[in-house]
Amino acid sequence: MAQVTLRNLVKKFDRTEAVRGIDLDIADAEFAVLVGPSGCGKSTTLRMIAGLEEVTSGDIMIGGETVNDVPPKDRDIAMVFQNYALYPHMTVYENMSFGLRLKKFPKAEIKQRVENAARILDITELLDRKPRQLSGGQRQRVAMGRAIVRNPKVFLFDEPLSNLDAKLRVQMRTEIKKVHQKVKTTTVYVTHDQVEAMTLADRVVVMNAGTIEQVGAPNDLYHNPATRFVAGFIGSPAMNFLPCRLEGGGDALSARLSDTLSLALPAARAPSYRPYEAKSLIFGLRPEHITEPRPHEPGLVEFTVPVDVVEPMGMETMVYFTVNGIEVCARVNPAAARPVGEPMRFAADLRHMHLIDPETDLVIEVPAALRGNAYTNGGAR
């Protein structure tokens, strides 16, 4: 059993505060991904868990034990680095067995563990090679193998796929997920790539400027972001944000986006939004929820605007238009896209909309039952 717990964790480098008091509980066997833009403190947090950075204040617990002052080798963790960090003068076998040899494991057991890990990663035939004779993907596998043979309590991954090309990255992503399903070790994984975070994680931890913005299952974060940052960071293309003003009264609230465009909000959401009547807010809606009109789907709000840019992607087409000078992206059926300059009819699915209070940058909470979308299990905030 190895849960990882962070309590009010702070890291200061000279005067700059890289991590500003974060709390996080990672369950045993969970795959947690720390994601955020560069400089958000995610790697620093990981390095503190590894013991490679000293903790300024707060506590790190692994398996219920506070490890703040425990050296890395005694924390029973294994780490995979972005540049693999393989020992260049050792063969793959020696690289993988180095930790076990230092701990004076019996030779037979070392051999068995290395061969077992090599089988899991499909690198058995590479065991006698030196790192320089391997491709990037193979090196990454060896780095993972070195972690697996130790059979640690926690795996730590520091942007392990960033040095690989796009195709290999997708392949290795699946590989990492498979390995985790096989060995079921608690994993903390750091990446700046939100797609990687979404696809790998049991739970995603979104970090920004040294704090945790939101923790939740990938779909939770996607559908119910807690803050403007999370709403904008998760999802590609990013969520559209438009300044708006709430108008009307009673259950008939509408969001005025421009002089000519006003969208009637779902009646069910009125109780949550009513306190913000007549205030300036930010309206958020993902591109896939602005489509061509779909007569069979109820509850879509339609409007017409001229098309600015059309980007065909094959399976779908991105259509851009402007509202009040701000570019908005819609994801439409290729057959429905209109040529540039012509007016096009769009339908907005407001069951997936968000209103953000610009004063706090928090998404205005709507009780799950009133949202009207399928994802109602609510993320931890």
Binding site for another protein (CB under 8 A): 50-52, 71-73, 77-79, 81-83, 85-89, 98-99, 102-103, 146, 150
CB of 176 to another protein, least distance (A): 18
Amino acid (one-letter) located at 139? R
Task: Closer to another protein by CB, 63 or 243: give it.
Answer: 63
SS3 sequence, the chain? CCCEEEEEEEEEECCEEEEEEEEEEECCCCEEEEECCCCCCHHHHHHHHHCCCCCCEEEEEECCEECCCCCHHHCCEEEECCCCCCCCCCCHHHHHHHHHHHCCCCHHHHHHHHHHHHHHHCCHHHCCCCHHHCCHHHHHHHHHHHHHHCCCCEEEEECCCCCCCHHHHHHHHHHHHHHHHHHCCEEEEEECCHHHHHHHCCEEEEEECCEEEEEECHHHHHHCCCEHHHHHHCCCCCCEEEEEEEECCCCCCEEECCCCCEEECCHHHHHHHHHHCCCEEEEEECHHHEECCCCCCCCEEEEEEECCEEEECCCCEEEEEEECCEEEEEEECHHHCCCCCCEEEEEEEHHHCEEEECCCCEECCCCHHHHCCCCCCCCCC
Complex with another protein: residue 142 or 253, whichever CB lies closer? 142
- Asked if 26 and 15 count as a contact pair (C-beta separation under 8 A), the reply is no
Q: Which is nearer to another protein, 92 or 234 (CB)?
A: 92
Q: Are 85 and 146 in contact (CB under 8 A)?
A: no
Q: Give the nearest distance from C-beta 102 to another protein in angstroms.
A: 4
CB 331 within 8 A of CB 288: yes
Find residue 13's DSSP bridge partners: 16
Q: Which residues contact 82 (CB under 8 A, 6 or more apart)?
A: 158, 159, 160, 162, 163
Whose Cβ is closer to another protein: residue 23's or residue 128's? 128
Distance CA 79, CA 99 (A): 12
